[in-house]
Chains A and B, each alone.
Chain A
């Protein structure tokens, strides 16, 4: 399944709290991505990063923030400004330069009550 890890697998938070989801990869991939998946829907892009210290907003970036200080790590913070944060969050990476294949982490299921 590749070297992409996400932690924790399940996360519970109270409304109004910020929460950070971890994503680490040891595949030496250049690009990393964060997606949100809701029941019965496809994957929607939150943020992506092609190189260290640079990232771009996806279609649903509002209420989320990211950082890319190291090539291996791309943490996602779900802020209190995200109106409907309960979802399954998937991190992915791809090598980009020699291929576009995207590989996914196991996901974090976030529940906010």
Chain B
């Protein structure tokens, strides 16, 4: 089956700096790559996603890039704010049938 690896496991940045989280996947058939934000004790919330026919997608301060050849995708958060502090999960899926998640990155934004 699919194997998704996520790095780093923890990340601390100063407020206003950028944060980058990277994921790799193993199954070249995966074609949908969502990113979730999970605050302590709460449900994961979809923050951005990308499909395999697109190389980059942006939504305000958040962007995701996908390199199909290398089988990796990354989450970029610019101008970080304290409310960005949370655990972020990447995932890979083949047409939404099964989702395989990374192990998460705990992001701390230091005011």
Does B44 count as interface, using CB distance less than 8 angstroms? yes
Does A64 count as interface, using CB distance less than 8 angstroms? no
CB-CB under 8 A from A42, the residues of chain B are 4, 6, 89, 101-104
| Complex interface: stretch among B58-66, B71-79, B92-100 | B92-100
Are B96 and A107 closer than 8 Å at their CB atoms?
Answer: no
Contact residues, A57-113 vs B (CB, 8 A):
58-59, 90, 94, 96, 99-107
Does B46 count as interface, using CB distance less than 8 angstroms? yes
Tell me the bound Cα distance from A35 to B46 in angstroms. Answer: 16
Tell me the bound Cα distance from A41 to B97 in angstroms. Answer: 21
CB-CB under 8 A from B91, the residues of chain A are 43
Interface of B is mostly: strand
Does A21 count as interface, using CB distance less than 8 angstroms? no
Q: A41-B104, A42-B104, A43-B101 are in contact. Are A100 and B46 (CB under 8 A)?
A: no
Tell me the bound Cα distance from A1 to B38 in angstroms. Answer: 13
How many chain A residues touch B (CB < 8 A): the figure is 26
Most buried by A among B1, B44, B97, B98: B44
Min distance, Cβ A100 to any Cβ of chain B, angstroms? 3
Tell me the bound Cα distance from A31 to B91 in angstroms. Answer: 17
Most buried by B among A33, A42, A48, A50: A42
Select from chain A the residue with minimum beta-carbon distance to B43: A104
Q: A41-B104, A100-B96 are in contact. Are A105 and B49 (CB under 8 A)?
A: no
Tell me the bound Cα distance from A105 to B89 in angstroms. Answer: 16
Select from chain A the residue with minimum beta-carbon distance to B51: A100
Are A100 and B43 closer than 8 Å at their CB atoms?
Answer: no
Does A19 count as interface, using CB distance less than 8 angstroms? no
Are A43 and B34 closer than 8 Å at their CB atoms?
Answer: no
Are B45 and A45 closer than 8 Å at their CB atoms?
Answer: no
Q: Which of B34, B100, B104 contacts A101 (CB 8 A)?
A: B34
Q: Which of B1, B96, B100 contacts A102 (CB 8 A)?
A: B96
Tell me the bound Cα distance from A66 to B40 in angstroms. Answer: 27
- Measuring CB to CB, which residues of chain B are less than 8 angstroms from any residue of chain A? 1, 4, 6, 32, 34, 36, 42-46, 49, 89, 91, 93, 95-104
